[in-house]
Amino acid sequence: MSRRPGARQLEGSVSLITGGGAGIGRATALLFAEEGAAVVVADRDAVAALDVADEIAAEGGTALGLHVDVADEQSVRDLVDAAVARFGKLDSAFNNAGIAPPGAAVQDINAEDWDLVQRVNLRGVWLCLTYELKHMLARGTGSIVNSASVAGLVGNPGSAGYSAAKHGVIGLTRTAAAEHGRHGVRINAIAPGLTGTEMVRRLMAEGVIDPETATARMPLGRLAEPREIAEAALWLASPRSSFVTGSVLTVDGGETAV
């Protein structure tokens, strides 16, 4: 975790990151800590969350690793309460936890797979947003970033459940932003393109994603690095985006431009 020169963007703040044990969430937790935040690293894999928290602490940062099941209301409530109890406040949050179901055409989707991806990727974001807002609204300040996807902006053949959930995240983000901008809380979303995470590489190995086809349609011609998505989350979470709310920041190598 290298330190960057200059004033740190999140100095003295407290950030909560779900899905923080791996991939984009891990990269964001490390970056937020570099930028001066005390980071609550939450993941359904408690060991992974603790490992990232330990990694931050080893570099001189402050972090707390916690288990969360974002589809379970009590688990989310306990997570946010624990974060505030430990650090006294919550300044920003990155609702990043999500799953990718097996690929299937609309008519072939298993109902259980459909329900699971909605519970985690949409209900989970809503639950996190709900309990984060309770604390932020009481203080009259805060920034929340929700993880959407380019699949939330365009059709995503073979992954209708995932695409539907991510479209829902964008609608939820915009509505919440419209409700709470005057209360001092900003709410935005990120729409990453294909990123070199463990989940994406698994889908490539399973044949769900063809890497050559996927990168061929991107003007930049490659997958994103998790750190590149984390940088976008940092900007939205920080005061540098102080006049931005209700927006969807697309970080996709130009995929949706063509």
**DSSP letters spanning 178-247:** HHHGGGTEEEEEEEE-SB--HHHHHHHHTTSS-HHHHHHTSTT-SPBPHHHHHHHHHHHHSGGGTT--S-
CB 45 within 8 A of CB 23: no
- Name the burial class of residue 248, with classes exposed (0-12), middle (13-18) and buried (19+) by CB atoms within 10 angstroms of its CB: middle
Q: And the tokens for 164?
A: 């539907």
From 186, 206, 202, select the one nearest 194 (Cα to Cα): 202
Greatest Cα pair distance, the chain, in angstroms, is 53
Residue of 98, 97, 99, 80 lying closest to 40 (CA atoms): 80
CA 254 to chain centre: 20
Q: 131 catalytic, yes or no?
A: no
Q: And the tokens for 201?
A: 């590489």
Write down the H helix ranges in 88-123: 111-118
Q: Given 162, 163, 166, 200, which residue is catalytic? A: 162
Residues with a known catalytic role: 162
